[in-house]
Amino acid sequence: MFSPSPYAPRAHFKAIPMSKRSLTFVCQNCGAAYNRWQGKCEACGEWNSLAEEGAERPAGPGRKPGKGRLFQLQDLAGEATDAPRTASGIAELDRVTGGGFVKGSVLLLGGDPGIGKSTLLIQATAALARLGQRAVYISGEEAVAQVRLRAERLGLSEAAVELASETSVEDIIATLSEGKTPRLIVIDSIQTMWTDTVESAPGTVTQVRGAAQALIRFAKRSGAAIILVGHVTKDGQIAGPRVVEHMVDAVMSFEGEGSHQFRILRAVKNRFGPTDEIGVFEMTGEGLREVTNPSELFLSERDLGTPGTAVFAGMEGTRPLLVEIQALVAPSSLGTPRRSVVGWDSSRLSMVLAVLEAHCGVRLGGHDVYLNVAGGMRIQEPAADVAAAAALVSSLCDAPLPAQAVYFGEVSLSGAIRPVAQAGSRLKEAAKLGFTGAIVPESGRESGDQALKTQEIGSLTTLVAEIAANGRRKPAKSGGQDG
Ligand code: TYD
Ligand code: MG
């Protein structure tokens, strides 16, 4: 099946020809198959992840040549209709899906246990049911009574959601094929489902893949939209069914810090919509509440005038989002000082620290550095570099930053501050929330708002000098001392 191309990943050389695949060892992490047991999966590097699994019936290649059915090839130009969607009415959810659930599409929702996946989905099915659409919620983890109890707590008892506690995919498909096709079917979770066509134990990669395949086929055939819930492992991967990620139309992840009430829904893959939009929710006693103005929420508990905090004017998709970046720089007693970061990329932090050391004379080799994005938010944009650097220097020099100013800009390795996209929207959001100043890259556009004064800064050195000038402590010029 595979020609051993020198560019193919190594694991493919090991792949077993379909005809010989009677008993195989399948990596439970990535789905690679081997004909012998071994301690480490060569495809993904995971240890002890191989499990013996029964064979899947060989598909395509097993068929005799000459027996195929002829089909019509078509032109690229032709009638293309917009994907027919059903909006849930939960605006933050619809924003992430790209305007609603697409007919016949399958969406995988991943997230840590207890983050609120079941809560979100029971709310979504109830919202659809209230709009008069047929919505079905199938739980493989909880009994019907438990789901009802949750619905009662959420005040959704009277919504016409159809419930079941089932794990057999064949039974589910047979039942749902009867009567009017449901608009939305929730399967909570894909790891608990099993199909007769595969001989492995429930929860194994082969079962999960088999069950997902059957459900995807059903979705395409019937036109129902299906949401599969997937559990996430410690390191943030959707456990086992990473293979499923490739099969579905969209992958969303539901995130949040355990101690915070905010939950963020993010699209990781979306065949029918954007992948950079986020939906923000707040977990309350009555379920998930939509947060329509996240900036206000993320800035609501700000300590004004404390050194080490800077407000970053970020963008999440088409929506500007202001968040507070907090830094603590303290002399270290360790041989190798600590670098700890929550909500931002740690290699990005290392880079900013290196630029501060190399170009701005800020010595941090003897300091522990902690960086945190407030509210449990996770930032992916390089535009946060300047805000992070400002917070770090502010903490080091004990120099509070102006409380009414926002920061954005990308730091290059040369120490220059680079312009970033959508400066206008960032400034507009800052002005709307009452900020009066902005530290922006050179050629960052005018704010267009009289109330907001922009200050253009071309290099990190200038920014550091400006912050340090107001400091009660001078940055150490030689390693380790705090002078
Ligand atoms: P759940 O939706 O069961 O999480 P998941 O399906 O992702 O495992 O949510 C469980 C958590 O949410 C649980 O710790 C309690 C909390 N919760 C609330 O705070 N308020 C509520 O109204 C509900 C239903 C749950
Ligand atoms: Mg659940």
The closest alpha carbon to 324, from 292, 298, 346, 305, belongs to 298
Contact 322, 404 (CB under 8 A): no
For the ranges 15-29, 199-213, 434-448, 463-477, the lowest mean pLDDT is seen at 15-29
Q: How confident is the model at residue 384 (pLDDT cuts 50, 70, 90)?
A: very high
Per DSSP, 40 falls in state B
CA distances from 388 to 142, 173, 341, 462 (A): 43, 51, 11, 15
The pLDDT mean for the chain works out to 85
Report, in angstroms and rounded to the nearest whole number, the Rg of the chain calculated over CA atoms: 26
The proportion of the chain whose per-residue pLDDT surpasses 70, expressed as a percent, equals 87
> Going by CA atoms, what residue is nearest to atom 15 of ligand 1?
114
Give the C-alpha separation, 384 to 411, whole Å: 9
> Going by CA atoms, what residue is nearest to atom 10 of ligand 1?
114
Ligand sitting nearest the alpha carbon of 191: 2
Burial tier of 107 (Cβ tally within 10 Å: 0-12, 13-18, 19+): buried
437-454 pLDDT, tens digit per residue, is 999 998 755 556 667 899
Q: Looking at the CA of residue 111, tell me the nearest atom of ligand 1.
A: 7
Give the C-alpha separation, 252 to 205, whole Å: 20
**Distance between Cα 111 and ligand 2 center (Å):** 10
The closest alpha carbon to 430, from 459, 377, 390, 387, belongs to 387
Q: Looking at the CA of residue 112, tell me the nearest atom of ligand 1.
A: 7
Residue showing tokens 């969209």? 250
Which residues have a Cβ under 8 Å from the Cβ of 332 and sit 6 or more positions away?
338, 366, 367, 368
Question: Does residue 230 line the site of ligand 1, with CB under 6 A?
Answer: no
Give the C-alpha separation, 392 to 373, whole Å: 13
> Going by CA atoms, what residue is nearest to atom 13 of ligand 1?
114
Residue in 108, 118, 119, 121 to alter for ligand 1 test, most ligand atoms within 8 A of Cβ = 119
**Distance between Cα 230 and ligand 1 center (Å):** 15
Does the structure show a pLDDT above 80 at 243?
A: no
Cα angle for residues 221, 227, 230 (degrees, 5° grid) = 125
Give me the pLDDT at residue 302, please: 78
Question: Does residue 117 line the site of ligand 1, with CB under 6 A?
Answer: yes
Give the C-alpha separation, 72 to 302, whole Å: 63
Ligand sitting nearest the alpha carbon of 112: 1
333-363 pLDDT, tens digit per residue, is 988 999 999 999 999 999 999 999 999 999 9
Give the C-alpha separation, 171 to 168, whole Å: 5
Token code pair at residue 145: 């009574």
Q: Looking at the CA of residue 229, tell me the nearest atom of ligand 1.
A: 6
Strands 367-373 and 262-270: unpaired
Q: Counting every residue, how long is the chain?
A: 483
Give the C-alpha separation, 318 to 50, whole Å: 43
Other Cβ atoms closer than 10 A to 396 = 29
Token code pair at residue 217: 């086929």
Ligand sitting nearest the alpha carbon of 287: 1
User: What are the DSSP calls for 102-127, one per residue?
Assistant: ETT-EEEEEE-TTSSHHHHHHHHHHH
Does the structure show a pLDDT above 70 at 479?
A: no
Does the structure show a pLDDT above 50 at 57?
A: yes
Question: Does residue 394 line the site of ligand 1, with CB under 6 A?
Answer: no
Does the structure show a pLDDT above 50 at 482?
A: no
67-92 pLDDT, tens digit per residue, is 788 888 988 887 777 678 899 989 99
Burial tier of 422 (Cβ tally within 10 Å: 0-12, 13-18, 19+): middle
189-242 pLDDT, tens digit per residue, is 898 999 998 887 777 788 888 999 999 999 999 999 999 999 876 554 555 556
Contact 327, 394 (CB under 8 A): yes
Per-residue exposure over 200-225, b if at least 16 CB sit within 10 Å of its own CB, e if not: bebbbbbbbbbbbbbbbebbeebebb
Handedness of CA 389, 392, 397, 403 (dihedral sign): positive
Residue in 283, 284, 286, 289 to alter for ligand 1 test, most ligand atoms within 8 A of Cβ = 283
Question: Does residue 287 line the site of ligand 1, with CB under 6 A?
Answer: yes
Does the structure show a pLDDT above 80 at 170?
A: yes
Ligand sitting nearest the alpha carbon of 115: 1
**Helix/strand/coil for 11:** helix
Q: Which residues sit opposite 252 in a β-bridge? A: 109, 267
Residues 108-134, mean pLDDT to the nearest whole number: 93
Question: Does residue 150 line the site of ligand 1, with CB under 6 A?
Answer: yes
Question: Does residue 283 line the site of ligand 1, with CB under 6 A?
Answer: yes
Q: Looking at the CA of residue 188, tell me the nearest atom of ligand 1.
A: 6
**Distance between Cα 189 and ligand 2 center (Å):** 7
Give me the pLDDT at residue 3, please: 46
**Distance between Cα 232 and ligand 1 center (Å):** 16
Contact 184, 101 (CB under 8 A): yes
**Distance between Cα 113 and ligand 2 center (Å):** 7
Other Cβ atoms closer than 10 A to 22 = 9
The proportion of the chain whose per-residue pLDDT surpasses 90, expressed as a percent, equals 51
φ, ψ of residue 134 in degrees (nearest 5): -80, 120
Give pTM, 2 decimals: 0.77
Other Cβ atoms closer than 10 A to 309 = 24
Q: Looking at the CA of residue 286, tell me the nearest atom of ligand 1.
A: 22
Token code pair at residue 196: 């007769």
Contact 409, 444 (CB under 8 A): yes
Ligand sitting nearest the alpha carbon of 140: 2
Other Cβ atoms closer than 10 A to 367 = 23
Q: Looking at the CA of residue 287, tell me the nearest atom of ligand 1.
A: 22
Give me the pLDDT at residue 232, please: 73
Q: Which residues sit opposite 23 in a β-bridge? A: 54
Token code pair at residue 152: 């009662």
